[in-house]
Structure 1
Amino acid sequence: MKSVLIIILLFIFSAGHSEDGYRLWLRYDPISDVTKRKEYAALLKYLVLEQTSPTFNVAEKELKLALNGLLGLNLTTTNVIQEAGAIILGTPASSKIIASLNLHDKLRSLGDEGFSILATSVKGKKCIVVAGNKDVGVLYGTFHLIKLIQTYQVLQNIYVQNTPRIKHRILNHWDNLDRTVERGYAGFSLWDWHKLPDYIDPRYYDYARANASIGINGSVVTNVNSNAQILTEPYLQKVAALANVFRPYGIKIYLTARFSAPREIGGMPTADPLDPNVRSWWKKKIDEIYQHVPDFGGFVVKANSEGQPGPQNYKRSHADGANMLAEALAPHNGIVMWRAFVYDNEVPEDRAKQAFNEFKLLDGKFNKNVMIQVKNGPIDFQPREPFHPLFGGLPQTPINMEFQITQEYLGYATHLVYLAPLFKECLDADTYASGKGSYVYKVIDGSLHGHALTGMAGVANIGNDRNWCGHPFAQSNWYSFGRLAWNPTLTSEAIAEEWIRMTFSNEQDVVKSLKELMLASREITVNYMTPLGLHHIMGWDHHYGPGPWIKDKPRADWTSVYYHKADDFGIGFDRTKTGSNALGQYAPEVQEKYGSLKNCPEEYLLWFHHVSWDHKMKSGRSLWDELCHRYYQGADSVKWMQDSWNKMEGKVDHERFSQVKSLLAIQYKEAVWWRNSCVLYFQTFSKKDIPPGFEKPEKSLNYYESLQFPFAPGIRPKW
């Protein structure tokens, strides 16, 4: 009777809890399956922790919070085995019990962050052990155990060995010191610099919890378009306060380094990386940072790109600039993540080729604590791009993958777009750099070229909105990034199912329906925005909505006409031998795949080829008709998304159901806007009718071209 009362009270508490999305996937509401509750309660009765540490304390607190919410258990903590049902946390060094289990062979291959979870017996008493070589591994194992319970997995004979395949798993926050967020669509920055270091917002701890739960171990808290003030003493005190919050969760703090900082805050006449005084200034500054933050991770640097200062201002190379910083960071075990996002409007070369052209010549010339941070595609986080040719093109240099989690080009936080399929499309692409099977993820995890320094960065979609990411489903992209940074071979389907079960429901019909919705969403978005390999045709500067007509701007490579090249003959950018030959930067096997109209997959057709409007597609339709078909299909599919979500009414909480329903209505309206704008604009070149059966746009092209959005969120700061 007492247990039934506890369950009722827990459900009452849960029902009264506002489902505003704040808890992310760390929702510890009562498990409704009575059989599962009894099964888990029999196995998980109390906690054994023989030594404490800041990280063990975090693990203990999280486990107690989770099991109290999920199972109604009030765990006690002891340092000895009392009866069956113990959960034992620790390392061989911190726990005599774990040391006695002879797990050394199991743990040896797991490194500092891996963990082992196993059901075993100690002195004849059944228990579950969560072990690692280091405290942080135990923390990751604790979160994994909680996830297994949240998703109704069997624990009786559990045996899990898990270790990250990538060393540096980092969120890049494009947050400015005034709390605006470049390409941020979920409110203002989390970091309240004005109140730091004296006031520590509780959200900082919940941010750290969420990241630790998916294995993210680094946070770059400032924008790549950086402000040198972050490197001054008052701000370093604020950075140190954040680092103190993050440390027990296994998260290192990183900063962006403005290359001109010696001039801007150091009063020096130059920032030349080969100038001895400049090198000395950076060494002293980095030593100062480590005095405040002993485990500081290092720098991300955007240099000589889009107006940012860099070594080329002084006729030096990217290697000269990166190595100067790397040399000063090396004694502290810090790293440099030097971004390869460089291009120059004055260079008469396809923008897609420019990063490869600059960095290929520098392969092997960077210090060993430097990674080149490369975007997944060669242009700029488009809804679809081929993988960047630098993956596989720099065999002597570690490469740090850069994905964009925030939806700069994918409808902001108003569109439901599950990005794991986009991430996987790149990670699973074959570079053929060392023959067949040279997948991008093997470049990133170091296995292809034998690099120990490995990394994956994600441009964060996090703000101070109550639900963190603006759109409830945008949380899945933060989650997916963390899971893939830990293990890039996981599938989009598996990650979606985990997230749905932890965030919405374990009911099978809900899981099935939401998984179908999520997995279809990215392709639907591509269809109503940039089908068949189109790219970079969004609105000017703010990147909100369609703008295929954008031209006559200060830089040709910031216009849409530069990329789609529509004319009376056809549409698309010829990147084969007859055009810019950007395809020549890839391995011969990749060139063969994309180099001819016959072989090129249609999803990349207009990326690599300028194609006649009358070209016959695989569907049997002409290119023009197929383009129209994709645009209309994309918009119509958002209607399907709406219908699918409407069926969730009563099966998920009312608050998030209503919010997603409203956002899907916006998404449909904007999908039609994209469809109409693009079809009408490209029709001025094709001179062909919209195919029969498709409704005609209700507004004129002039109307769509006249729309202005001067206050769209997330615009780049103008320093």
Structure 2
Amino acid sequence: MASPALAGDGYRLWLRYPPAAAHWRSTEAPRLRVIVARSRSPTVNAASDELGQGFAALLGRTLPRSHEIIDGTVLLGTPQTSKVIAALRLPLGGLGDEGFILRSTSYSDKRIIVVAANGERGLLYGSFALLREAQQGRSLAGLDLRQKPASPLRMLNHWDNLDGFVERGYAGRSLWRWAELPGQIDPRLIDYARANASVGINATVLTNVNADATVLTPDYLRKVAAIAGALRPWGMRTFLTARFSAPIDIGGLPTADPTDPRVRRWWKAKAGEIYRIIPDFGGFLVKANSEGQPGPGDYGRSHAEGANMLADALAPHGGTLLWRAFVYQADPGSDRARQAFDEFKPLDGRFRRNVILQAKNGPIDFQPREPFHPLFGQMPATRLALEVQATKEYLGFSTHLAYLGPMWAETLHARTEHGDRGPNVADSLTAMAAVANTGDDRNWTGSDFDQANWYAFGRLAWDHALSPRAVAEEWTRQTWSHDPAVVSQIVGMMMRSREAVVDYMTPLGLHHLMASGHHHGPGPWVDDLPRADWNPTYFHRADERGIGFDRTASGSNAISQYRTGVARCFARRDCVPDEHLLWFHRVGWDERMQSGRTLWEELLSRYERGVQSVGDMRGEWAALDKKLDPERHQAVSAKLAQQEKEARWWRDASIAYWQFVSRRPLPPEVTPPPHDLATYRAIRLRNVPGDPE
């Protein structure tokens, strides 16, 4: 049976600190005696308190604070705050303010563990790293770690509206209780900040990219300041989305033209007002000239002109401007996938140095699988951020188990030039951002397993080279159990889960097949939406002859946006991976695949494999019922049952439609869908969580 310490409702996330007796070497416990940290800094005190609480739970006894170095001391400090750390001459050069060293060493014949850094945020991250090592059951006797973050900016983007609704949110309402601010701080904000600090997330954008200028008014800025104050001790800077038309909406100006001197003065004054209220304000995130949002294009100006105007307003205060590259025009032309590159590539080198261009992992829209965005590797004179989506808008919401670590690593490790040793996407990054999956649900993310995506984002943003499996193992030990058999089973499920979703939703490079508006459930037949590129039929182009979007030179030539070696591979059927085949190629139903099967047979087998994978996960999870706490085990069991039902819905509806379009019979071994196509097309979902409509 599960230890009572592991029971719970999911609120404590991966910061559970279960007693060490079951998984930590017994020789470790007597060695830890006291914690030494001399500081008036709220951040260092937060780190020291976390170590005290964490080790008290792990060891079953309190580690008091002290100013005396004795055997078993855990010492936090910088060379400036600790004579001991200065005397140890640790290699802190090059670690910046956020890097740290963990080392088990000796000082004056006393064995100590050192958490050393150049700055207070490094001490915070190092303290959480030390507790993570202990929670993994690793010996601290020979500890010697030196780390710094791969990306300077590691942030969550909250698509939260001022009314509390979370667009594409599947875990309840917004964490920001605006009506109670600034006078009342929800303690949950502290727990949110603490969880982010534990995985190295150092910034958050509070508001929806479909922005409301009201948040920039004085009353709301005081509320934002209260949130910023709660997050600050945990190393987090606060950002807001800026509506480009704010000078009109709340400023009384007749224009928002970025070249108009009145507009430029208004934004500079607004930035000054914000920084007087929030001195460490991070800056703005902007969605402009996309999906109806206002932008510089409304005045015939470029994205660079719009971004630079805002960047100039922020620059005197050290602020950063993140400008989203998710744009597409009213007329998609030959291929919507081309549009962001076509608009931004000519602007390389024309953005201010405090501008970061934020591009999604793929060129369409957070699909279950996309090739990497062609802007990565093609904008050498522009600072870039990778935007991913922790909230699973296109991967089954919080209902479907889909661990996204492999998905994000797939993008980070993608070679922007063909070959095993070429540069990869990670090499081009200044920042990583994730559309947050948190809400006011008790377990934060709507599903216990969706917590893993929050955790994995932070860990991969900190260290791009981490393996998704290693991250899954860390999270599982901290969240569920240290039983090796349980860890192996859960991690195995996680590592297969995203591929299962791809198989039963969008196999072989198909994309954007979801139902209209809410994007939940299949809709490959949809062809009546007002924009051509909102219709799944635009993307799959299936008919009796074949299926797939031709992005080679004979089609839209979107492959030309990639570097030469990558483009050549994507253009060749014998080089492009099957996983991206129908993204780049139109293929006949009877053409042979690498497996030897026809495309029709391969497509059917992928749908079958996806559904089978979910069934296997249900069985494996059921077998753990005696080894996990019953409340969370039952909650996950219910989610998996719903996922299997919906995976079958995806499989059956998709096969019914493809069979109708292709006019091909099903092989004898394939079970026909239980209903006709008309039945699946008639399904309508209402009041779907997170649906802005």
User: Which of the five TM-score ranges fits, normalised by the shorter chain?
Assistant: over 0.9
Q: What are the residue-to-residue correspondences of 1:375-524 with 2, within 5 Å?
A: 375-432=360-417, 436-444=421-429, 454-524=430-500
Give the distance between the partners of 1:62 and 1:435, measured in 2 at CA: 42
Give the distance between the partners of 2:605 and 2:349, measured in 1 at CA: 47
Q: What are the residue-to-residue correspondences of 1:176-325 with 2, within 5 Å?
A: 176-325=161-310
For 1:39, what is the secondary structure of its paired residue? coil
Candidates 284, 307, 314, aligned match of 1:329: 314
Candidates 75, 81, 104, aligned match of 1:88: 75
Give the distance between the partners of 1:539 and 1:147, measured in 2 at CA: 41
Q: What are the residue-to-residue correspondences of 1:10-89 with 2, within 5 Å?
A: 15=4, 19-33=8-22, 36=24, 38-81=26-69, 83-89=70-76
Q: Which deviations, in whole Å up to 9, do the C-alpha atoms of 1:625-660 show, x marking residues without a partner?
A: 111111111111111011111111111111111011
Candidates 548, 553, 559, aligned match of 1:577: 553
Given the alignment of the two structures, is residue 620 of structure 1 paired with residue 596 of structure 2, yes or no?
yes
Letter in 1 for 2:288: A
Candidates 652, 659, 666, aligned match of 2:628: 652
Q: CA RMSD in A?
A: 1.4
Asked if structure 2 preserves the Cα contact closer than 8 Å seen for 1:524 and 1:634, the reply is yes
Q: Which deviations, in whole Å up to 9, do the C-alpha atoms of 1:580-634 show, x marking residues without a partner?
A: 0000111111122110223221111100011101011122211111111111111
Taking structure 2 as the reference length, what is the TM-score of the superposition?
Answer: 0.98
Give the distance between the partners of 1:337 and 1:171, measured in 2 at CA: 13
Taking structure 1 as the reference length, what is the TM-score of the superposition?
Answer: 0.95
Asked if structure 1 preserves the Cα contact closer than 8 Å seen for 2:7 and 2:629, the reply is no
Given the alignment of the two structures, is residue 696 of structure 1 paired with residue 683 of structure 2, yes or no?
no
Give the distance between the partners of 2:494 and 2:6, measured in 1 at CA: 26
* Structure 1 residue aligned with 2:142: 157
Letter in 2 for 1:22: Y
Letter in 2 for 1:477: N
Give the distance between the partners of 2:645 and 2:6, measured in 1 at CA: 32
Candidates 530, 541, 562, aligned match of 2:506: 530
For 2:450, what is the secondary structure of its paired residue? helix
> CA offset at residue 434 of structure 1?
11
Looking at both structures, which has the greater relative contact order when contacts are Cα pairs under 8 Å and sequence separation is at least 6? 2
Give the distance between the partners of 2:418 and 2:83, measured in 1 at CA: 48
> CA offset at residue 51 of structure 1?
2.6
For 2:386, what is the secondary structure of its paired residue? strand
Give the distance between the partners of 2:569 and 2:297, measured in 1 at CA: 36
Asked if structure 1 preserves the Cα contact closer than 8 Å seen for 2:473 and 2:491, the reply is yes
Give the distance between the partners of 2:116 and 2:620, measured in 1 at CA: 42
* Structure 1 residue aligned with 2:544: 568
For 1:344, what is the secondary structure of its paired residue? coil
Give the distance between the partners of 2:481 and 2:613, measured in 1 at CA: 24
> CA offset at residue 544 of structure 1?
0.7
Q: Which runs of 5+ in 2 are unaligned?
A: none
Q: Which runs of 5+ in 1 are unaligned?
A: 1-10, 445-453
> Structure 1 stretch 275-284 or stretch 115-124: which is displaced more?
115-124
Identity score, percent: 53
Letter in 2 for 1:52: R
Give the distance between the partners of 2:362 and 2:84, measured in 1 at CA: 49
Letter in 1 for 2:510: L
> Structure 1 stretch 343-352 or stretch 650-659: which is displaced more?
343-352
Give the distance between the partners of 1:40 and 1:16, measured in 2 at CA: 20
> CA offset at residue 320 of structure 1?
0.5
Give the distance between the partners of 2:277 and 2:670, measured in 1 at CA: 63
Letter in 2 for 1:590: V
Asked if structure 2 preserves the Cα contact closer than 8 Å seen for 1:399 and 1:443, the reply is yes
Letter in 1 for 2:16: R
Give the distance between the partners of 1:435 and 1:489, measured in 2 at CA: 15
* Structure 2 residue aligned with 1:108: 93
For 1:327, what is the secondary structure of its paired residue? helix
Letter in 2 for 1:182: E
Letter in 2 for 1:427: L
Kindly report structure 1 stretches of 4+ aligned residues shifted beyond 4 Å. Answer: 433-436
Give the distance between the partners of 1:597 and 1:486, measured in 2 at CA: 36
Give the distance between the partners of 1:561 and 1:607, measured in 2 at CA: 13
* Structure 1 residue aligned with 2:151: 166
> CA offset at residue 435 of structure 1?
10
> Structure 1 stretch 313-322 or stretch 586-595: which is displaced more?
586-595
* Structure 2 residue aligned with 1:549: 525
Asked if structure 2 preserves the Cα contact closer than 8 Å seen for 1:403 and 1:457, the reply is yes
